[in-house]
Structure 1
């Protein structure tokens, strides 16, 4: 009798339930921490500690949950890991190859700290990626019935609702994270005297997901799922009502974030959805049109209420789409930039401008500025309030200078900043031997301007918020990463950060660090290697092809099939958003769980079809 009770309790255990906590907790964590820079990071940002509000603690909690899942899997191994078919096994093998080459890239990386623990503000090192694989595999094996889908939907609705609430106040410029209550939650007591500076303007929202672009990736996953459940699912009215509300709030998140990547992901989900559900849409076109109409009305009302702000970035998305097809192969950005070249000389530096060259040196105890003819150019203080110096010389009328002490122990102004067209330009340091050298803005380290190899995107450097600039300089790096990459989360060290003239043309400033490729696939190829990327793509292709075979153009759908198709559309949305966004700890755990559930749903539906 006792054995029967024990067996009954074990059978009643829902091993998938812990996944709900990961979905509902990890994306919402916002907690301030500081990262001590190692020697590699100091070369980019200096020795000052770097603050992290959205990533490190998310990664820590994900690790804790992953360890718990491993423990559950070990204790209940026989109950969890049942036999799967060839398709699931193929996906698992490809995922294993992806993880294997990720491990190899981390072990052999010259940037060990970041490769294992991740960058500050990102935290996607080997440990985090291993956690992704754990929750992915765990989801495949523990999602055994569609009744478990509520443990997906309920946490998603919670995350959508909380981010919509926070996002509203962020959108109107009253960020609750910076409020007293927000600080009480997000800032440890030892840092209460620190002022949170979140560099997001009113008119955009990011919730707890770190950046408005990642809100787009999040919505690209969850909106197709919620919308399909609202339109097609045979649930009771209360359940459908929550799905409708969740869909409308997701639309608000997407439009409020102004994420064009999210829009692209959603559009591609709609296209694939039309293919998969084509016959059912025609049969239930009234419900579909009503649902679509509600979304359009909400979007129009929201755009009207915000005086056009919600749709403000749509025209740029359209213009970028058309510009891709323009032939600009003979374009040289340096011919269209206010700055042609910057170089260090024996004792000074030279900035080559469109019409002249500004030569900088230090002679007889003072800075000296000359033109290309070695004629002295006088810069004078513009006014008492403004600390900048300007000149009447026509060829340098767009130049302003600022002098500062870069070293705390310096007894003189040992730094000069040359701004061009009122944009942050180039910083030079005066050394003890009275020579002048170009330095990095953040670290203060001596640098020489480089002109890296590029592939494509000539004349399209500003495409997609400067993604063209990044991709053109990232693609040549792939030839070094065929087998393994430089290590997870190490793109920042590979990118030619000293391409200051290129940065100035693309970003109108040199005071910035390119820390990500803005492309999920480039991110994997450069960090983990091309083979890891191929393995990742194999997982996705096997899953999506299998889904289309199972669900496309059916006359009627069972509940399991609708959920399987909706889950696939969420995966597709994320993957297309990934053409312009990276993987990030705020959203990636959701994706890997949804993918694991999708693989399991396909397995369930294949078994049902076979029977």
Structure 2
């Protein structure tokens, strides 16, 4: 984690709003990953004898995926983004190929107990340090917010940026992974590892060590407030209990104790309520139902403009506001003028409302055919220009009020922090990426950023940048193609099916079975979290290395 000043080309800058981007969290992770992966690949090719190369069916889907990564890079419209990565993310084509290198190398070289546990110990120690730092961060004792911490991540010559650093705040863990959701994807993997070893521990010392790590990683996960991570962890726990059914009959006490401690930590940290985690999944409510029960108050639910009569109508859950455009100015058509405060000044006319339910709404109509709406911190700017009505969107660009193609989730777009809105606008894009994707990290360039009305309705901000689909599988399908996604699904599902077949009736008397189960559950946890989270350079390398280790352990048992 270190500050890097980056210059971007015009295509990314158009969306991002600047040719200059300051990155703390992803750029140097990307550089480190590529450097280490290249070094590992060179050593691997130089010193591995041909007869020692492990031959397995798992190479085929990886080769297919690699081919589609390259094809997407060749045919992309945005070469610089595909090569360098998009701001904030930097998961470019080289990074995707590096993931495969890590999997292939770990699959071939990490076979013996010593090498497996050497890597796992490194991961678990690093994760423990991140968890401790994250817990301090949760209670607003974050090293990064101190003067020393800020200077620690700021290189010489760029100190003037130190005072401009902003952080998410207390009661949430983002650690050095930038986004709490990424903490969820990371934490659930190491938690699955630790919990499995805890449940299978036979020595008292091992039991205490794995128990401590399990609770530490669990606190890390809870503090991230990542619903995706928490739900995937619960699913993994259920799977673990099913697989270890016979073993748990002997050790049911440790299961009861760990579940009690999980509940206690959840209550003490108070990061989320149980209802906030499960409500969207178990009891999803439509937009109208949410508004009716006063659970949300969408300020603007619909925008209509009659071009012939020049009447703009803004629909809200409280009222319907009508404006008519006359002499280059929007004028309010209000039936009860006694409850409307009108303020005139050189900028235009300001409309405020006395009614309690409308008091948060404020409109400013200036003399340049512009209507500004404010609702607390939320705002929208409508502009009449060239005989058309526009709404200001990303980076102040004007977009016409046109309908954008969407599929599914109608009425439920706001669920999952508006993830269903993003998915509904992303799925229609798959028609053009069935064979070849748009290129690594190019999602933001193809998402309908011009859907200003949709963003206003479901994000309350028409200018927000949607740079990721919040879904690992849609991310792959858009960036490298649907066929590449199918190749990865074959890889992942084949491994999971083989693992379940191996471990469902295993005795767990050897290290291969214990470690294989732990790794399988970590892989499953990451893939389940992927339904709501994206791949990111801060967490994905762990997944791909574990995948290689897991495949090798399975093959070792089948020999």
Q: TM-score, normalised by structure 1?
A: 0.81
Q: Is the 8 A contact 2:496 2:520 kept in 1?
A: yes
1:388 and 1:471, CA in 2 relative to 1: closer, same or farther beyond 3 A? farther
The whole-number CA distance in structure 2 between the counterparts of 1:594 and 1:540 is: 12
**Structure-2 residue corresponding to 1:13:** none
**Structure-1 residue corresponding to 2:362:** 400
- Offset of residue 32 of structure 1: 1.4
1:507 to 432, 437, 459: 459
Post-superposition CA distance 1:257-301 (Å, at most 9, x none): 11110111111211221232222222332333333333333333x
The whole-number CA distance in structure 1 between the counterparts of 2:555 and 2:349 is: 67
The whole-number CA distance in structure 1 between the counterparts of 2:265 and 2:301 is: 46
The whole-number CA distance in structure 1 between the counterparts of 2:204 and 2:369 is: 68
Q: Is the 8 A contact 1:489 1:527 kept in 2?
A: yes
Post-superposition CA distance 1:547-591 (Å, at most 9, x none): 111111234431111100111000000000111101011100000
1:62 and 1:498, CA in 2 relative to 1: closer, same or farther beyond 3 A? same
Aligned CA-pair RMSD: 3.3
Post-superposition CA distance 1:11-62 (Å, at most 9, x none): xxxxxxxxxxxxxxxxxxx111233232222322323522221111100000
1:325 and 1:345, CA in 2 relative to 1: closer, same or farther beyond 3 A? closer
**Structure-2 residue corresponding to 1:572:** 524
**Structure-2 residue corresponding to 1:545:** 497
**Structure-1 residue corresponding to 2:411:** 459
1:233 and 1:391, CA in 2 relative to 1: closer, same or farther beyond 3 A? closer
1:518 and 1:263, CA in 2 relative to 1: closer, same or farther beyond 3 A? same
1:362 and 1:442, CA in 2 relative to 1: closer, same or farther beyond 3 A? farther
1:258 to 215, 225, 233: 225
Is 1:115 the counterpart of 2:86 in the alignment? no
1:157 and 1:462, CA in 2 relative to 1: closer, same or farther beyond 3 A? same
**Structure-2 residue corresponding to 1:323:** 283
2:303 to 341, 348, 366: 341
- Offset of residue 93 of structure 1: 0.7
1:211 to 176, 179, 191: 179
1:239 and 1:160, CA in 2 relative to 1: closer, same or farther beyond 3 A? same
Q: Is the 8 A contact 1:268 1:572 kept in 2?
A: no
- Offset of residue 436 of structure 1: 9.0
Q: Is the 8 A contact 1:399 1:418 kept in 2?
A: no
Is 1:155 the counterpart of 2:115 in the alignment? no
For structure 1, the residue ranges without an aligned partner over 5 or more in a row are 1-29, 304-308, 405-412
Q: TM-score, normalised by structure 2?
A: 0.88
**Structure-2 residue corresponding to 1:93:** 60
**Structure-1 residue corresponding to 2:48:** 77
Q: Which secondary structure does the structure 1 equivalent of 2:160 belong to?
A: coil
Q: Is the 8 A contact 1:491 1:527 kept in 2?
A: yes
The whole-number CA distance in structure 2 between the counterparts of 1:76 and 1:108 is: 35
Tell me the matched-pair count. Answer: 543
The whole-number CA distance in structure 2 between the counterparts of 1:127 and 1:590 is: 17
Q: Is the 8 A contact 2:391 2:452 kept in 1?
A: no
The whole-number CA distance in structure 2 between the counterparts of 1:158 and 1:415 is: 61
For structure 2, the residue ranges without an aligned partner over 5 or more in a row are 292-296
**Structure-1 residue corresponding to 2:3:** 32
The whole-number CA distance in structure 1 between the counterparts of 2:557 and 2:343 is: 77
- Offset of residue 76 of structure 1: 0.4
Post-superposition CA distance 1:103-148 (Å, at most 9, x none): 1112111121222221111111101101111111111011020222
